[in-house]
């Protein structure tokens, strides 16, 4: 336990003894977030079973799309919080493996298929090189890409595109949409993502911070991964890029 300078000069007997049963608050939060994530998973399983039994006129509604979108968004935030906690205590394992990039992009879009259809958003992907392979942590990078897709769904007008290619020995995965693009302040301050915290807009910046940390875990020959925000995407809106050596 660190010493509080404001307690200097206090009588030794007046100093409270630390509780032997005390817990680090960050550990309590992480444990609670883990339980919340499990509860959300069970809730969504029950919801999927219930909604699959509904007639089409009740199943294909805007309310269903909203429930699925917000549930996926909430799950993504919980994953980020757990990931950041594990990064802070050096307990986030890296499990990279070889994968075909086209399969990876297809899987990411498939997870959002019902939400995309409910919002009438067209999705597409493009891999510049046939049979392109990559060595990365599928779960960690997938959580970053999934979070960006979810964010793009929120702001896209009608289309989202995923694209992958290699450049200077790095794999680049880009997620673009046809929305209004990133605010100028986010583009200008993208080297310090935590500055993106804005309670009035609901933006925490933690999603970008999490993405940057995950990208940095991927390294080769002294080169670390990184992320980049742009407003010159092929669909006319914002574009998120993750660079993985």
Residue-wise DSSP of 24-93: -HHHHHHHHHHHHHHHHHHHHHHHHHHHHTS-HHHHS-HHHHHHHHHHHHHHHHHHHHHHHHHHHTT---
Q: What size, in residues, is the chain?
A: 245
Mean pLDDT in consecutive groups of 10 residues from the start of the chain, 245 residues? 40 43 68 80 82 76 76 80 76 86 95 87 93 92 92 92 94 96 84 54 68 90 92 91 95
Cut 0.95: pTM above it: no
Amino acid 103: pLDDT: 96
Say how far apart CA 174 and CA 162 lie, in whole Å: 6
In a 10 Å sphere around its CB, with 0-12 CB exposed, 13-18 middle and 19+ buried, how is residue 239 labelled? Answer: buried
> What is the reported pLDDT for 4?
42
Looking at residue 166, what is its pLDDT?
A: 95
Fold exhibited by the domain 97-244? Heat Shock Protein 90 (3.30.565)
* pLDDT for the residue 161: 97
Distance linking the first and last C-alpha atoms of the chain: 40
Task: Return the pLDDT at 80.
Answer: 78
């Amino acid at each position: 336990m660190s010493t509080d300078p404001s307690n200097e000069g206090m009588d030794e007997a007046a100093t409270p003894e630390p509780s032997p049963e005390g817990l680090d608050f960050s550990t309590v939060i992480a444990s609670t977030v883990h339980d919340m994530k499990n509860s959300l998973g069970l809730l969504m399983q029950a919801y999927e079973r219930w909604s699959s039994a509904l007639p089409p006129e009740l199943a294909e509604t805007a309310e269903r799309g909203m429930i699925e979108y917000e549930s996926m968004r909430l799950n993504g935030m919980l994953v980020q919080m757990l990931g950041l906690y594990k990064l802070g205590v050096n307990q986030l394992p890296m499990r990279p493996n070889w994968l075909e990039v086209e399969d990876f992009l297809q899987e990411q879009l498939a997870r959002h298929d019902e939400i995309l259809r409910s919002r009438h958003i067209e999705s597409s992907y493009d891999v510049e090189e046939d049979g392109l392979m990559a060595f990365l942590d599928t779960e960690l990078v997938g959580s970053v890409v999934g979070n960006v897709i979810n964010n793009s769904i929120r702001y896209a007008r009608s289309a989202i595109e995923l694209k992958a290619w290699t450049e200077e020995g790095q794999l680049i995965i880009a997620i673009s949409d046809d929305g209004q693009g990133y605010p100028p302040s986010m583009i200008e301050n993208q080297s310090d993502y935590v500055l993106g915290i804005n309670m009035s807009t609901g933006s925490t910046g933690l999603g970008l911070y999490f993405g940057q940390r995950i990208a940095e875990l991927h390294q080769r020959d002294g080169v670390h991964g990184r992320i980049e925000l742009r407003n010159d995407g092929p669909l006319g809106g914002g574009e998120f890029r993750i660079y993985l050596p």
